[in-house]
Every structure is written in C-alpha cells, then in structure tokens.
Amino acid sequence: MATKQSRSPDRLALPERELGSRRPSSALTLTAALLGFALICLDASVVNVALPAIGSSLDAGMSGLQWVVDAYTLAFAALMLSTGAFSDRVGASRAYALGTTVFTLASVACGLAPNLPALIGARVVQGVAAAVVLPASLALVRQAYTDPARRARAVALWAAGGSAAVALGPVAGGALTTAWDWRGIFFVNLPVGALILVLLLRAPRSERRPAPLDLPGQVTAVLALTALAFAVIEGGTAGWAAGAVAVVAAVAFLRIEARTPHPVVPLGLFRDRTVVATVATGAAVSVAFYSMVFVFSLFFQQVQGRSALAAGLMFLPMTGLIAVTNVVAGKLAGRHGPRLPMLVGQGLAVAGLLGLLYVDAGTPPALVAGLLVPMALGCALTVPPLTAAMMDAVPAERAGLAAGVLNAARQVSGGLGIAVFGALVSDGFVEGMRLSLAVSAALLVVTFALSCRLAGRPAR
C-alpha cells in the first residue's frame, strides 16, 4: 500500500515533466496560425468572382450581392476592435480554436444556404469568427517563438500567407465556381478548418490575461457601421432612416470613447499627424483595391460576358505580384523610411486608376488585366510602409491596439467602398465604374498630400 502511494505522485507528475521537455513544435503552431489567417483572407476575396453565379442562383440584385461581401467585411472590421482583448481574456489558443470552429461551421452554412437572407446571415457569422481568428493567430505565433529574430521571420511568413490567399482568391473563386458551383467556395473551408483544429491539439495552451472590454463602445461602433452601410446600399426612405441611426450611433460612440477608461478606439491616438496620415492612407488604399476587385469581377462577367474562371484569371497578373511587392516595400521602408515607398506606391496607384478610365465593354480583357497591375502594385507598395509608420508613431505598449485600429479602418473602408461603388454601377455599369475609379484616385491624391508630411527617417 505504501508502495502504491509513493509511486502515484510520480505517475501523475510524469506527464507534466514530459510535456515540459517535449514542447509542441513551434512549426506546427505557426502552420496552424498561418492557415487560419490565410483562410479568413481568402474568404474576403474569393467570393467576388462568384457573385454573378450567386445572384443567378438566389435571384439576388446588386444590393443583395453587395451585402454578401459587406456582411462579412463589416462584421470582421467592427469586431476586430475588441477581439484582441477577448483573445487575451480567454487565452489565444482557446480563442483561436473557437473562432476556427465557428468560421468552419458558418462556411458550411453559407454553402447550404437556401436563399439570400440565409447566406448573408451566415456571412455575418463568418465575419465575427474571422475577427476572433486574426488577433488570436498572431498571438499564437508570438507565443511559439520567444527569440525575436525567429519570431520576426515567423510573423513574415504568417503575413505572406495572408497575402498569398488574397492573391489566389479571385482565381480560386473562378475555378471553383466553374468546375463545381459557387457553393464550393465555402465548402472548401471545411477540410482546412478541420486541419487547423488537428494542428491545434499539439499547440500549448495560452495563459489568460486580464483585458478590459469596452462593450458600449463596441456596440455603438457596430450599430453605426451597419446603419451606414444599409443607408448606402438600400437608399430610399429606409436609407435616410438608417443614415440618421448611423449619425446618432457615431455621436454616442465618440462620447463613450472620450469618457471610458479603456476605449476600443482611444481618440488621443489621432492627435498624432502620423497616425492620421497612415489610417487615412490605409483606408484610401483599401477603397481602391477591394472595391476595384469587386467592380471588375462584375465587369468581366456581366459586361464582357466572360466565365467565372476567365474573370478570375484576369486578376492573376495583378495579384500574383502582391506578395513580392510587399516584401520589397518592407525593405524600402527599412532603408529609406516609410514616406518614400508610400508616396511612390500611391502615385503608382493613382496612375493605374486613371489608366483604367479608358476601359469600356470593347476593351480586350488582356489589356484590362494589364491596366489593373499598376493600381495593385501601388497599393501593395504602400501598405507595409504605412504599417511601419503607424507602429513607429505609438508607444510599444499600444502597438497591438494601434494595429487593430489601422486594420479595422482598412476593412471598414473597403466594405463601405463596395457599398458606394456598387450603388454607382447599378445605374449604368461603365459610367458608374468610371466614377468609382475617379473617386478612388481622388482619395489617394488627398492621402498622398498627407503622406508628404511624414518624417523621412527610417522606421524603428
């Protein structure tokens, strides 16, 4: 009896010692985090090329197709303000597993959607889950790599996975829609989600940390953004009413953020002109890039009569160079400071947008695909330096919060851009498309002027 009692603690303690000596592979954790980030980035772009097929299958008009995109984007963007704190409170590994599970199930619901309202509702749930996955995935990478140099390389790989997914999105959407059905763009998430959850079984449990949540600020932010998108997309009397709700919610949000001790968006950040310039530039770049992918996905199919696969391939020249350009932009920012690559990138994007003004129904698709390249490369050249400038402008302890604000602003602007430009092209496609291009170019001209005031020194 004494022998059993003396050995029992050893048996209980052995697994803990083994777990400590055989730590799960950091490479597996990075793979799980990268796959999740790539998955949520893919779903932001893969759906665009499938929109005509969705509209035909579910009898959806232009406003319905806009909601298919924006339901995901706006939920993703608005909740990103708080999900970093949520990830800290429950632990990054738990938050990531929860977000991945919900995202995968919502993807299945999208693929099985019998009608447009069901699809839009499932897209909202996808967006909510994606907002949980993003900060948790980055936290897992940081947790897995304690050495700063190895962590920097891991974060670069994590970011490259997202860029590659955005680049492959239109092509994958076209291929799946043509070879299978539009529902395939959602069902393909199921095996990837399952693989992520299997890999997470080997990841260490993350510690829970106290993190305050600004629920009133988060609720009013969601209400303001949703009402604004509804006002732009639906228009009419209901649109005016939604616009009034958006204004009231926005005012309430600003008052709450000014008074709460732990706001989701600290208004004091915007006293720094670098923060203002980078957030504005990020927003303008997102309007140009994401809105143009939306508009030209419809243009290739509805105006020029191309197949979904052909439309997806038209984006391959521009998206295939994005990841490489991101790396080059990061090196330029490190050597010359963020201002120079930001100015060059925005100038190139404006030139590309102005070149696209001459596109009409008779323009050869290969020429349109070539004209899209300067706009995309300009945007890709701008984003890494503006992110570096934003991180350099805030104290280290506020870096995560600042990154959340920047990314939320970019996602919201992209979603609202789709709402506005979708309304413009619905009244006459080519004319509306040209007006959309002009608006995007004008926004980038304004942010170009703001970027001229940035410091020319390299970012820390």
Residue 20 binned pLDDT confidence (cut-offs 50, 70, 90) = very low
For residue 63, pLDDT over 60 is answered with yes
Q: Give pLDDT, residue 239.
A: 73
Residue 207 binned pLDDT confidence (cut-offs 50, 70, 90) = low
More confident residue, 397 or 62: 62
For residue 8, pLDDT over 60 is answered with no
The answer to the question of residue 446 being in a domain is yes
| 403 & 419 share domain | yes
Measured CA distances, 113 to 119, 166, 172, 187 (Å): 5, 24, 20, 11
Where is 237: in which H helix or E strand? Answer: helix 236-259
| 256 & 272 share domain | no
Q: What is the pLDDT of residues 291-335, one digit of tens each?
A: 888 899 889 988 888 888 888 888 888 877 877 787 777 777 777
Structure tokens at 419: 């709402």
Q: Give pLDDT, residue 10.
A: 39
Q: Give pLDDT, residue 264.
A: 74
- Is the pTM higher than 0.85? no
Tell me the CATH number at 364.
Answer: 1.20.1250.20
More confident residue, 275 or 11: 275
Structure tokens at 28: 């597996």
| 251 & 353 share domain | no
| 254 & 368 share domain | no
Q: Give pLDDT, residue 167.
A: 76
3-state secondary structure of 227: helix
What rounded mean pLDDT belongs to the chain?
81
Structure tokens at 42: 């893919």
Closest CA to 276 of 131, 453, 82, 102: 453
For residue 250, pLDDT over 80 is answered with yes
Question: What is the domain count for the chain?
Answer: 3
More confident residue, 100 or 8: 100
Structural domain containing residue 387: 268-460
| 161 & 291 share domain | no
| 233 & 366 share domain | no
What percentage of the chain exceeds 70 in pLDDT? 88
For residue 100, pLDDT over 50 is answered with yes
Q: What is the pLDDT of residues 335-368, one digit of tens each?
A: 777 888 889 999 999 999 999 998 888 899 889 9
Q: Give pLDDT, residue 445.
A: 95
The answer to the question of residue 16 being in a domain is no
For residue 232, pLDDT over 90 is answered with no
